[in-house]
Copies of this chain bind each other. A is one copy, B any other.
Amino acid sequence: MVRKLQVAVSGLGRMGARHALHFLDRTPRAELVAACDPDPKALAWAKQRLEPFGVKIYNDFDEMLKHEGLEAVVVAGITTEHAPQSIRAIAADKHVLCEKPLSTSLEICEGVLKAARQKPQLTVMCGFSRRFDASYRDAANRVEAGDIGRVSIIRSQTCDKHRNDDYFVQYAKFSGGIFVDANIHDIDLALWYFGQDSVVKSVTALGINARLADLKKYGDVDNGIGVVEFWGGKIAYFYSSRMMAAGQTDTTEIIGTHGKLVVNGNPQNNLVEMHEANGIRRDVPQTYYDRFEQAFVTESNEFTECILDGKKPPFQLSGAISALKIGDALQKSLRTGKKIDFNEIGEEIVEEKARL
């Protein structure tokens, strides 16, 4: 019989529960053997939905780490636990798939990276779902094939549907800000298509509070514009929003010297169009999961494959940190109202007057 990867999931909130089910039901080469969450409600769900399939349920992460035969852990609980749990899992010689962000703190992220580097035999991945999306990959293949010449400009946006509740406000307490939370995906795409080793030359960020004034309490905005210039003549510009009327509208343009690729220029929920008295209409995905569900499933499967077959992950953990560095700089630019410049090795240039 073929061996299956023994996986556990930590954190059974909205996204964690989805990860658990992806490994339980849609990752043929993996076996979900354990899951944990300190929250009684999550545990009740797990008892009902996971336990009958032989999944052992824990309320303590460290107990779960000792589960016999456990090989890999998905870290998907609250953001502040991402890094600590990842580090402990690595210490316990487990492969790790950690939900983004590793942390909103660069220093803490680097702690995870350091831990991972000490165990090069382990697969340690940070979940950037778009890296597993068929359309973004198709675009990457075309870029690599030279179809559009040298990639020069990237436009990318992460735009959530407006919600009538205070979800985004509550969420802002921990999210790190719109550039670190939402545009982090676009930044990661820029690094993917420009090259992972691109060096930042400057960042500028601006934002407004068009509908969610309460976000200001946490220094956050509901619409953000960021521009990131890289050394060598490349510019990425980003938009993020929490107030889209129609739904999740994440669009990316990759503009090369000889052509352009557009990913999701025309958001659509499925292949149906409605002809109605007031025109022709189509539905749009309502959430990022509606848009990227299949990418998450691909992620589970490729994480498994990397471990079982000793393959290299499709992108490096260090990339998550590169992206966060840029996101952090954008947040700082938003906060200070200043453009921030960097030298050719990516060090922030501090203005003279400040140095005096």
Contacts and interface: CB of A to CB of B under 8 A. Distances in A.
A267 B273 CA distance: 12
A203 to B, nearest CB: 10
A114 interface: no
A262 B275 contact: yes
A339 B338 contact: yes
Nearest to A152: B210
Given A202-B337, A223-B153, A281-B281, A244 B260 contact: yes
A124 interface: no
Contact of A274 (B2, B147, B155, B337): B147
A226 to B, nearest CB: 9
A308 interface: no
A210 B223 CA distance: 29
Interface residues of A, number: 79
A241 interface: yes
Interface stretch (A56-64, A180-188, A229-237): A229-237
Nearest to A137: B270
A312 interface: no
Interface stretch (A21-29, A70-78, A96-104): A21-29
Interface in A147-188: 147-148, 150, 152-153, 155
Contact of A279 (B25, B210, B271, B283): B283
A157 to B, nearest CB: 9
23 contacts: A26-B26, A135-B271, A138-B270, A139-B272, A155-B239, A206-B227, A210-B233, A210-B257, A223-B255, A225-B227, A225-B237, A227-B227, A243-B257, A245-B276, A245-B277, A246-B259, A246-B276, A261-B275, A262-B273, A268-B280, A278-B283, A281-B281, A353-B353
Given A280-B267, A281-B281, A353-B352, A210 B275 contact: no
Contacts of A206: 202, 227, 229, 235
